[in-house]
Amino acid sequence: MSELLFPIAVNVVLGIGLLGLFIWRRPAGQAQLTADEALGLFRRQYPDASGTVTVAADSRTALIELQPGIGLLQRQGRRWVSRALERNQIASVRQRADGAIQIAFADFGWPRALVRLEDPQLRASWLQQFERLAAPLAGAAGADRHHA
């Protein structure tokens, strides 16, 4: 029995050491997206784009005031996806109970986006801009069209 205690103790010590190394080497968090970086990433798809950039609280989304329309940059997995939104490309927009702006698009390729802005005045301004671009809905006023 005593000949098994030494290998078990070695495995426990190695396991704790490897776990500590894993935690120590793990990145502290996501890198923060800056306005300049967001505009640079957006310009990869839309080279002539310029405007004021607002980066979301989670640094996974950025909104760009374009003339006309809105630029949307969103992280999806390891990639950044960009889209220039114009009139009638937004099916609905609403503010959720947690304060996030939920946008449903008029196509099924990119059905929805969620933007979390901490500043209430900034959030209200962007919500108003999205509502201006929202498509007129067929049927009942204020109806919300959902996608798959």
**pLDDT tens digits, one per residue of 2-57:** 778 888 888 888 888 888 777 776 555 556 789 999 999 999 999 998 889 999 98
Q: Domain of 57: which CATH number?
A: 2.30.29
pLDDT exceeds 70 at position 75? yes
Domain that holds residue 97: 35-133
What residues contact residue 71 under an 8 Å CB cut-off, 6+ apart?
42, 46, 49, 51, 62, 63, 64, 65, 82, 83, 84, 85
Residue 106 lies in a domain: yes
Residue 147 lies in a domain: no
- Could you tell me the pTM of the whole model? 0.69
Residue 111 lies in a domain: yes
For residues 64 and 106, which has the higher predicted lDDT (pLDDT)?
64
Predicted pLDDT of residue 142: 46
